A and B are shown apart, each in its own frame.
Chain A
Amino acid sequence: MSTAVDDELWSAIGDPIRRTMIDLLLSDGPGTATSLSRRLPVTRQAVSKHLAVLDRVGLIHAESAGRERHYQVDEAQLARAVAQLSAVGSTWDARLRRIKRIAEAIERSRITKEGE
């Protein structure tokens, strides 16, 4: 998948309201703009806009049932986004483990030196 799409995916889940919407759709099952706006401190219109952003990057998809579109989370795409974010974090995990080892080695050698 292209970088442009990854950029959009990144910013789609960078927004706290949109992340809350994903959480609600995961915990409560499929929802509509109306049902989500009842649970959130934003208007139905704003919810519709956020839903469109999530839909565009494939994090949710809609089914038309009755008058309103019912949205649900695309778990494969969500898993993909989560994996991308954690890949960046894991590079810091490795760096911090090294900082820990170096600092602890210095600390130990200082204590040994003082004890001599």
Chain B
Amino acid sequence: MEQGTIERDIHVNASPEVVFEVVSQPEHMREWWPDDARFESVAGAPGELVWRNADTGETKTVALAVVEVDPPRRFSFRWCFTEPDRSGQALLVTFDLIPDGTGTQIRMTETGFRELGWEIAVLEAQYQDHENGWDHYMPRLSAYVARLVATR
């Protein structure tokens, strides 16, 4: 890990336009990460990510701020702010989309761990996907995509 940065590359068999929608729209994000995502996909917009405990019904809300929206090339946002009003230090997540044949190469970087320390890294890892386990997830995804296509 270079300077407290997580960097990941993944190839996706979908156009940069489709991938951009999936990474940058809250209605898609809540399918791949939190239980709920609320933000306008506009530079500078404030937003929230919400996790819900299925057993207790308790919710945990984390502030987010959109940084850059450059379709279909780059989407970035800050989260895990040290101050309650979306200021101070934060983690910065950037998705860079690079056309790759008929698909797209996603380069995801998350920086700020070195400044924020190990404590925030542990916290970050706790904000896991809203569903763990492929068995539960796959039927949800199929239903979701069918719904999405039907509304187009």
Contacts and interface: CB of A to CB of B under 8 A. Distances in A.
Contact of B10 (A85, A100, A110): A100
A6 to B, nearest CB: 4
Interface in A69-116: 84-85, 87-89, 91-107, 109-110, 113
B23 A10 contact: no
B14 A104 contact: yes
Contacts, number: 113
Contact of A103 (B1, B12, B124, B137): B12
Interface string B107-135: 01010011001110110110111000000
B145 A106 contact: yes
Given A89-B1, A92-B6, A107-B13, A102 B31 contact: yes
Given A10-B121, A102-B22, A95 B4 contact: no
Contacts of A92: 6, 8, 108, 110
B10 A103 contact: no
Contacts of B4: 10, 14
A98 B114 contact: no
Nearest to A8: B118
B39 interface: no
Interface residues of B, number: 46
B141 interface: yes
A41 B51 CA distance: 47
A101 B12 CA distance: 8
Interface centre among A3, A105, A110 (most CB of B within 10 A): A105
A98 B108 CA distance: 13
A11 interface: yes
A9 interface: yes
Interface of B: 1-4, 6, 8, 10-15, 18-19, 21-23, 28, 31-33, 104, 106, 108, 110, 113-114, 117-119, 121-122, 124-125, 127-129, 137, 141-142, 144-146, 148-149, 152
22 contacts: A7-B118, A10-B114, A13-B1, A14-B1, A14-B3, A85-B121, A88-B113, A88-B121, A91-B125, A92-B110, A93-B8, A95-B129, A97-B10, A98-B32, A99-B23, A99-B106, A100-B10, A103-B14, A103-B18, A103-B19, A106-B14, A109-B148
